[in-house]
Structure 1
Amino acid sequence: MTIFLIFTLGTILGSFFGLIIDRLPEHSIVSPRSHCENCGQILIWKDLIPIISQLINCASCRYCKIKLTYWYSILELSCGTLFVMVWLEKVDLTFSLNCLASFLMVGFDLKTHAFPLWIWLTFFVLLSFTCPFDIGVLSCILIAIMTEFSSLKIGSGDWLYLSLVAFSANFFQLTLCLFVASLSGLLYYAFNPKQKKAEMPFLPFLFLSYLCHLFFENDALITYFSLIIFRY
């Protein structure tokens, strides 16, 4: 029962994150009340239950029957699962804060290819309390500043995100994260013809590669892959 309550709290936070991503920066998160973008109908409590409402309504508006995206439920499920993992002590606070920051920043990157700076700053301050930042964090921030004055292939927002990752990743893990993200992005670009005519959000690939570092806790293995990267 306790795990169910923890999961529910996580889904509620995920629902709030969805509201932030959906409305900012164009609209207020306070008003107007939650409504269907197609028919304008005000949503009541039974339409706003995380995950369950979308399942019951088959991801459609209960009033006009227009199909809704599943990303709200995915975000709610992700936050709920993260809360349970923290409760069961499967992940530490630093990793969980990084994931929460990632949910927001990736959502904005998919939506507008940019994210509000206050989101990064908020989680940067929170992470600073969980563990001291080192040269890796400062280096990513410095590179992010440099990208504002030069035309690098990776944007300043991506480096700011990597500065958060650096709180829970050493140099080799950070290098591997960037390598895997770049490789994944290139493969996606190569096999998705439509993407070749549009700007590609990179934060989703960085986040997925960051999650992969959970499976590379062996420093010897990380060192081996990193040496391969630098060699070739």
Structure 2
Amino acid sequence: MLSLLIFFFGSTIGSFLLVFVERFFTEESFIYGRSHCDHCQHRLGIFDLVPLLSQLFLRGRCRYCKTKISFLNFFTELICGLIFLSAFLHFTSVTQALSFLFCLVLSLFDAKNHGFPLLVWGGFAVIFFLIFPFHVTMLCWFFLALLADCFPLKIGAGDFLWLFILSYFLSFIQLVEVIQIASVLGLLWYVFKKEKELAFIPFLSIGYLILFLTLQIH
């Protein structure tokens, strides 16, 4: 029963993160503003806001205008619930769960805006800096981020800043493996979706998850 409550609490946090990402670049408050349908602007009732269950019962559509709700909302709530549950069951440590939360937040920003606010990245960077010792190899990723910001390297500075944070958890070789996995996934996505510009951080995050699960199995 307690595990279910932890999962539900994590899903609720995921719902809040969606609002946070959606309203970060707008004038709407993500704390005090009432939730509403992005299409018809109708204010949502309490039964429209139950994480996961509301979307299942409403079949992924707005109760009022019947517009289809992005599956990303359901997916975010599900993943966030699993992150909290994995930490509670000690499948991951608290810091590992925090790293997955970092990946989720930056992936949401990148998927929606093809970039993320440095303020959000800096908040996570400060937290991890207080927990883990700084090591020299991290400077490589920060230097590459500066180069990507100054020159057209065909990869965003934000991707290297993501790698900077994950270097707290993975070795340089493991990060290269994550990049390889992400590149293959990104290439497959490009082939099927034909998108000219890819949000790469979601693929890096999936690569990190695949590597993490592989290491856990072995």
- Same fold flag (TM > 0.5): yes
Map Cα deviations across residues 56-82 of structure 1 (whole Å, 9 max, x no partner).
Answer: 111111112221112111111111111
1:97/1:127 contact within 8 Å kept = no
CA distance in 2: counterparts of 1:108 and 1:62, whole angstroms: 26
Gapped runs of 5+ residues in structure 2? none
CA distance in 2: counterparts of 1:112 and 1:200, whole angstroms: 11
Q: How far is 1:130 from its partner?
A: 2.6
Map Cα deviations across residues 155-214 of structure 1 (whole Å, 9 max, x no partner).
Answer: 10000011111110011101111122122222322343x31xx21111111111111222
CA distance in 2: counterparts of 1:191 and 1:43, whole angstroms: 35
Q: How far is 1:52 from its partner?
A: 0.8
Structure 2 counterpart of 1:14 = 14
Q: How far is 1:138 from its partner?
A: 2.2
Map Cα deviations across residues 205-226 of structure 1 (whole Å, 9 max, x no partner).
Answer: 11111112224439xx9xxxxx
1:93/1:130 contact within 8 Å kept = no
Structure 2 counterpart of 1:162 = 163
CA distance in 1: counterparts of 2:101 and 2:153, whole angstroms: 27
Structure 2 counterpart of 1:138 = 139
Residue 142 of structure 1: SS of its match in structure 2? helix
Cα RMSD over matched residues?
A: 1.7
Structure 2 counterpart of 1:201 = 199
Say if 1:157 and 1:2 are closer, same or farther in 2 by CA, change over 3 A. same
Max Rg structure: 1
Gapped runs of 5+ residues in structure 1? 222-232
Structure 2 counterpart of 1:217 = 215
Structure 2 counterpart of 1:91 = 92
Say if 1:129 and 1:50 are closer, same or farther in 2 by CA, change over 3 A. same
**Mapping 1:92-131, distance limit 5 Å:** 92-131=93-132
Percentage identity across paired residues of the two chains: 35
Structure 2 counterpart of 1:187 = 188
TM-score, reference length from structure 2:
0.92
Q: What amino acid maps onto 1:7 in structure 2?
A: F
Moved more, 126-135 or 59-68: 126-135
CA distance in 2: counterparts of 1:109 and 1:214, whole angstroms: 22
